[in-house]
Structure 1
Amino acid sequence: MGNSAIKNDRAYTYADYLTWPDDERWEIIDGVAYAMAPPSTEHQRIVRNLSVEFSIYLKKKPCEIFIAPFGVTFEKDIKDENNPHAVEPDIAVICDKSKITEKGCKGNPDLIVEVLSRSTASIDIIKKRRLYEQNGVFEYWIVDPLHQIITRLYLNDDLSEYRKPEYFNRESTIAPIIFPDLQIDLQEIFPEPQV
């Protein structure tokens, strides 16, 4: 596999993704393979804090939360082995149980959360945003640990594109559009700023 952070010498597919070693984490977007950087401690704290909030709320409800590494592929009338996308969101909330398989989620999760890392931020902000929008992920949160801001995106009424982004800082409370009664105090999510 080499040490390259990007593999674009040919079009990669979900079939390739399944053959790669478990100790090497890659995502495929539009046939290009991107190496996933090891997450920082701060990244993992934020993922943990958010996942606890979702897990408590979803207990005894039909939706499930999954935390990376958990694969997501998008159907779009493509046979699995030819699918040019395979991603591992930090957090995925899935309400349609028929999309959950032994290998991950086949289809669009209802909500995806990505916590930015310096080395992969542009992938999350640009490439994954477009991928999720085009494949009907209703709600997408981009969490910026450095500035302690969450950008919330969700599909418009005809489900064709994301509405104008909404921003929430550490002093805010955020609620998922799909779960408006889940009020998350972001002071509980972001670590205390270092002085």
Structure 2
Amino acid sequence: MDTKKTDMVKEPDLEYSNHSYADYLTWQMEEVVELIKGRIFKKAAAAPRRIHQRISIKLSAKLYYFLENKPCQVYDAPFDVRFPTSSKDDEKIHDVVQPDICVICDPEKLDERGCIGAPDLIVEILSPGNSKTELKHKFELYESNGVGEYWIIHAETQDLLIYRLINGKYQPSRLLTSGDVAASKVIEGFTLDLEEFFRDIK
């Protein structure tokens, strides 16, 4: 099934706060939307800034080549990640997001519509229009659903903050910047030399 097209198309009620994934599948909207606790969050209607796209494609490529012949798989947006609570039924899912990049190591979480359950690693690349959503609502969503690592890249300042899930709570790294090498704990062996990574991203 196409994730955005069904026989019944309706306009979402932006004030309603209990939308489900079943509702989400019926919408055809100009903007990319996400659901957090049943509430609609619109992403920017315009395409992401060029530097955002450069960072995304370069990091996705590094992860892709690192993960070749390994069980983990990397996906980049648009790619639906659904967080079920009591049931995996579409009508019972109220959290659906499209992270910039995610890595899933359990193939049982993958289906034709994306990922159902927590990815092992999520990367969000911040831009001026989405910082509040990423830093507050998605932080809480990813932490409560057990996403092992949450990387936040600031495109403008070219730095990185890593949140690691320890005993159910996120613990932040120090702010990593040029000269630092970031290392993932959940994707064993994957490192990112930030000076090298950002060198040609301008």
TM-score normalized with structure 2 length = 0.86
- The one-letter amino acid paired with 2:134 is D
Q: Is the 8 A contact 2:51 2:201 kept in 1?
A: no
Aligned partner of 2:20 among 13, 18, 32: 13
Deviation at 1:138, TM superposition (A): 0.6
Residue 110 (structure 1) aligns with: 120
State how far apart, in whole Å, the 2-side matches of 1:173 and 1:164 are. Answer: 15
Q: Deviations over 1:123-159 (max 9, x none)?
A: 0011101000000001000110111111100111x3x
After TM superposition, list the pairs within 5 Å mapping 1:46-125 onto structure 2: 46-78=55-87, 79-125=89-135
State how far apart, in whole Å, the 1-side matches of 2:37 and 2:131 are. Answer: 17
Residue 139 (structure 1) aligns with: 149
Pairwise CA RMSD of aligned residues? 2.0
State how far apart, in whole Å, the 1-side matches of 2:175 and 2:48 are. Answer: 23
Structure 2 unaligned segments of length 5 or more: list them.
1-10
- The one-letter amino acid paired with 2:130 is T
TM-score normalized with structure 1 length = 0.89
Deviation at 1:173, TM superposition (A): 1.2
Deviation at 1:25, TM superposition (A): 1.2
Q: Is the 8 A contact 2:150 2:164 kept in 1?
A: yes
Q: Say if 1:130 and 1:165 are closer, same or farther in 2 by CA, change over 3 A.
A: farther
Residue 5 (structure 2) aligns with: none
- The one-letter amino acid paired with 2:169 is E
Structure 1 unaligned segments of length 5 or more: list them.
none
Residue 152 (structure 1) aligns with: 162
> Identity percentage over the alignment?
37
Residue 196 (structure 2) aligns with: 188
Q: Is the 8 A contact 2:54 2:201 kept in 1?
A: no
Deviation at 1:71, TM superposition (A): 0.2
